[in-house]
Structures are given as C-alpha cells and as structure tokens.
C-alpha cells in the first residue's frame, strides 16, 4: 500500500516555488551593485547558508514525532520561554510579505490592462483566486498552483535570457543600456542590495510543513530535496541576474521585466509576475496561519494552567519514529497543537480581511516591511535553525559522533551569521 503524503516531486515543487519569488526580478540590480564577478560569489554564499538552515530543519525534525515538526514544537523543547515570541516574529514576517504581494498585484495590473480600474480595484479582484487557495489546508494541495507559478517564472526567465542573446535592446534601444562593471564600485553599494540576495533564498517558513507532509521522511531524501531546491534556485538567480544586467548594464532597475519595451512578449511577462505573486500569496499565508494558531494555543494553555518553568529537553520512548538514523529514545516531548476546522476558518478569514484592508488602505509600509524582513527573515532562515541545531544535535547521548560535533559547531556559526545579516540589513534599511 502506498504511504500517504506528498511525493518527492511535489515536495520539490512546493519548496522551489516558496524560495523563488519576486526576488528573482531584482537579481540584475544586485549584479549592478556587486559587479559581474562578486555577484556570483554572494549568490553562492547566500545559497550555501540558506541551504544549511534548511538542512538543519530536516535534521532537528527527527527529534519530535513524525508530522509534528514546527517552529513552535521545537522551540517548546529547546527554548520554551521564547517559543511564542519566535512564532510572533514568523507570523508578522510571513503575513507582511503576503500583504506586499497584494500591493504588488495592484501596482502591476494597471500597467498591463491600461485605462481599466485602479490599483485598489485590482488588489481586491485578486481575492477571486487568492481567497479559495488560502483555505486549502496542506501545502501539497497547492502543488498545481505552484507548478503554474513555476511556469510563470520559467517564462520570465526565458524572456530575460532570450532578450540578452537576441541583443535587440542594445540594437534597437541603445540609450537603455548602461556600462557593465566587473567589480563593485563601493562597499555601500554592496550593502544596498545585499538583503535582496540573502532573502531571495528564504523558504524556511514552509520547510517544516513540507517535512511533515512528505511521504519519505528519511534524512537522505529530505537532504536531497534541499540540495536540489537550492541548486535550481541559485542557477536561476545567477542566469537571470547576469542576463538582465548584461542587457541593461548600470541602468537596470529593481524589476527587470518592467524595463522591456511594450509588446506582446513583455505584456505576457508582466502578467506572469502577477500570476507568480498570486500563487505565492497562499504559500505565505500558510506559515502565518500556523504561527497565529500556535500563539492562540500558547495563550489558551497559559490561561488554563501556568506552564512549568522547565521542560525536559529529551524524554525517551515518546513515539515510534520511523527513522534509521536517529534513535527513538532521542525523540523529545513536543506539544501537539490542534487546529480544528472552526479555528482554521476563523484565523484564515481574519488574516484575509486584515491583509486586504491593509493592502488597499495603507499608503506605504515599505520601511516597516524592510525592518520586519531584516529581523523576521534572518530569524527564520538562520538564527532559529542554528539555535535548534546547536541545542539538539548530539543531545541525549553520552558521546556525540564526530559528524554531530561538526554540525553542532556549524549551527552556532549560522546563528552568528544570522545576527550579522540582521544588523547589516537593518543598517541598510534605516541609513542607506
């Protein structure tokens, strides 16, 4: 009998679509500040560190019973007093990103369908697609829309690369192309787009859901899933970034698709951005809803009975974990957070109402999103996975393996990397 759950292909599609979003369109701008040579290395560094964070999530998920891996559950056995605070940061980050997608839809549609409705109307119109998708409980249920989103990304990538090889921009619109540099002109220029590259690889908010829904939860299978997703994303970021930068040079903007002259191909490209963003919205609402539910659960438990001051890190024989690499006596006691249909519907409806209201009423919250992204994304991508790995890897045994000691050390390095990225991104958001 076939094991229930998402296939490896479906899990790969979900993770790749979660990672690749609007940041792809800003990669040429990042190359314009970093130069052709250094731009490669920064993308590879961002991919390596983000990939290690995803790998740590797959590794520490084995320390809780199958299907129960969440930021909240693992926080509850590692840093219980901080679990609700971390979930709040995750909820704000993911929900803020979802709202920004709605705003982007409203900004783009008037450039595609001219003289028909304004941006607020188009934002509200997106609810026809976004609302039904937001009520799907599992990420695997979104695999077909994720495939459509990836097809839109593929078209935009081919559009950028195709224009470069055809050379029509330099031939027909020579004024649109600026000079091309090999190296960055200043350190501040690198800082100004550093967050674009680092956060382009963020897919950690949905990683635990992907693990929980996967048919094959072995460490080898999940590690391969992460490796493939990071490689595909990095190659796409580099190819699109180079092609877009070489096409427009230093004149390139933060959305390379918007720079192409009006025409049927460019119009389809702009429409592809809208489809990509629409299909990304439920992928952002999914982790936000989980975190809101975790916060609700924490407060309901706190009101009923004050929690104990200490929680045992590891308790033996709590569950029968089907994993040949991590023994069952190393599985920790983790709270099972219920999510009834009523609570699911209330939280989803509330998030949608608040999100759409903010998208059509708030004039500008770019600075707020930048600050939230600098703190929330670094916490999700680097700090939390690093802290989990440092706390859990090698615990419950008298003498950890050499490989576990190395992973434990690298987890701590990832934590420091995360704080360094956070400080740098906050500095660029506030002062550059």
Average pLDDT over residues 46-63: 96
In 10 A of CB 371, how many CB atoms? 16
Say if 334 falls within a structural domain: no
Spatial CA neighbour of 92 closest among 415, 379, 421, 424: 379
Which are the contacts of 189, defined by CB distance < 8 A and separation ≥ 6? 33, 34
Q: Given this model, what pLDDT does residue 431 score?
A: 77
Say if 419 falls within a structural domain: no
Q: Given this model, what pLDDT does residue 80 score?
A: 87
Grade residue 315 by pLDDT with cuts at 50, 70 and 90: very low
Q: Given this model, what pLDDT does residue 311 score?
A: 45
Q: Given this model, what pLDDT does residue 364 score?
A: 65
Angle separating helix axes 264-304 and 341-361, nearest 10 degrees? 130
Domain that includes residue 350, residue range:
8-304+340-361
d(CA 248, CA 235): 20
Summarised one tens digit per residue, pLDDT across range 367-420 is 666 777 788 889 999 999 999 999 999 887 667 889 999 999 999 999 999 999
Say if 101 falls within a structural domain: yes
d(CA 81, CA 294): 14
Q: Given this model, what pLDDT does residue 428 score?
A: 86
Grade residue 331 by pLDDT with cuts at 50, 70 and 90: low
Q: Given this model, what pLDDT does residue 396 score?
A: 72
Q: Given this model, what pLDDT does residue 416 score?
A: 97
Q: Given this model, what pLDDT does residue 398 score?
A: 67
Spatial contact of 429 and 367, defined as CB atoms under 8 Å apart: yes
Range of lowest pLDDT (52-56, 119-123, 231-235): 119-123
In 10 A of CB 342, how many CB atoms? 8
Summarised one tens digit per residue, pLDDT across range 62-81 is 999 888 899 999 998 999 88
Say if 209 falls within a structural domain: yes
Spatial contact of 221 and 214, defined as CB atoms under 8 Å apart: yes
Tell me the range of 296-305, 312-321, 367-376 where mean pLDDT is highest.
296-305
User: Into how many domains does the chain fold?
Assistant: 1
Which are the contacts of 279, defined by CB distance < 8 A and separation ≥ 6? 17, 133, 142, 145, 146, 148, 149, 152
Say if 322 falls within a structural domain: no
Spatial contact of 241 and 249, defined as CB atoms under 8 Å apart: no
CATH number reported for the structural domain that contains residue 49 in this entry: 1.20.1730.10
d(CA 291, CA 223): 25
pTM of the model: 0.89
- Average pLDDT, rounded, for the chain: 88
Average pLDDT over residues 38-60: 96
Q: Given this model, what pLDDT does residue 136 score?
A: 94
Spatial contact of 15 and 6, defined as CB atoms under 8 Å apart: no
Grade residue 185 by pLDDT with cuts at 50, 70 and 90: confident
Q: Given this model, what pLDDT does residue 320 score?
A: 41
DSSP type of residue 261: P
Give 86-153 as a DSSP string. Answer: HHHHHHHHHHHHHHHHHHHHHHHHHHHSTTSS-HHHHHHHTHHHHHHHHT--SGGGGHHHHHHHHHHH
d(CA 198, CA 18): 14
Angle separating helix axes 264-304 and 83-112, nearest 10 degrees? 160
Average pLDDT over residues 216-237: 96
Say if 193 falls within a structural domain: yes
Residue 303: is its pLDDT beyond 90?
no
Say if 150 falls within a structural domain: yes
Task: Give the 3-state secondary structure of residue 214.
Answer: strand
Q: Given this model, what pLDDT does residue 362 score?
A: 80
Q: Given this model, what pLDDT does residue 4 score?
A: 67
Say if 1 falls within a structural domain: no
Residue 210: is its pLDDT beyond 60?
yes
Task: Give the 3-state secondary structure of residue 6.
Answer: strand
d(CA 25, CA 237): 9
Higher pLDDT, 243 or 4: 243
214 has which bridge partners?
6
Summarised one tens digit per residue, pLDDT across range 89-110 is 899 889 989 998 998 898 889 8
Q: Given this model, what pLDDT does residue 1 score?
A: 38
């Amino acid at each position: 009998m076939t094991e229930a759950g998402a296939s490896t292909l479906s899990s790969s599609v979900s993770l790749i679509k979660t990672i690749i979003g609007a940041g792809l369109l800003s990669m040429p701008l990042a190359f314009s500040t970093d130069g052709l040579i250094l731009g490669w290395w920064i993308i590879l560094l961002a991919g390596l560190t983000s990939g290690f964070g995803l790998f740590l999530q797959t590794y520490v998920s084995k320390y809780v019973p199958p299907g129960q891996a969440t930021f909240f559950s693992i926080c509850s056995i590692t840093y219980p007093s901080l679990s609700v605070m971390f979930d709040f940061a995750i909820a704000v980050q993911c929900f803020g990103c979802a709202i920004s997608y709605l705003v982007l839809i409203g900004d783009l549609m008037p450039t595609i369908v001219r003289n028909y409705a304004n941006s607020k109307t188009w934002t509200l119109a997106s609810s026809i697609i976004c609302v039904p998708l937001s009520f799907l409980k599992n990420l695997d249920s979104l695999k077909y829309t994720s495939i459509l989103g990836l097809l839109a990304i593929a078209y935009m990538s081919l559009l950028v690369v195709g224009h470069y090889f055809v050379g029509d921009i330099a031939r027909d619109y020579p004024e649109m192309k600026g000079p091309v540099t090999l190296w960055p002109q200043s350190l501040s220029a690198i800082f100004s787009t550093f967050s674009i590259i680092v956060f382009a690889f963020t897919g950690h908010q949905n990683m635990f859901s992907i693990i929980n829904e996967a048919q094959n939860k072995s460490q080898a299978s999940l590690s391969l899933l992460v490796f493939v997703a990071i490689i595909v994303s990095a190659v796409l970021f580099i190819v699109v970034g180079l092609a877009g930068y070489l096409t427009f040079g230093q004149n390139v903007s933060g959305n390379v698709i918007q720079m192409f002259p009006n025409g049927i191909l460019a119009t389809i490209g702009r429409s592809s951005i809208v489809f990509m963003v629409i299909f990304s919205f439920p992928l952002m609402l999914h982790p936000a809803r989980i975190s809101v539910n975790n916060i609700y659960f924490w407060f309901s438990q706190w009101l009923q009975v004050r929690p104990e001051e200490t929680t045992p890190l590891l308790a033996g024989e709590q569950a029968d974990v089907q994993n040949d690499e991590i023994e069952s006596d190393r599985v920790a006691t983790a709270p099972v957070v219920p999510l009834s249909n009523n609570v699911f519907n209330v939280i989803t409806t509330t998030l949608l109402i608040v999100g759409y209201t903010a998208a059509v009423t708030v004039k500008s919250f770019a600075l707020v999103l930048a600050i939230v992204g600098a703190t929330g994304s670094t916490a999700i991508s680097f700090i939390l996975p690093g802290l989990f790995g440092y706390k859990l890897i090698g615990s419950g045994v008298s003498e950890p393996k050499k490989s576990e000691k190395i992973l434990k050390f690298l987890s701590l390095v990832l934590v420091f990397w995360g704080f360094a990225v956070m400080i740098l991104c906050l500095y660029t958001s506030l002062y550059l």
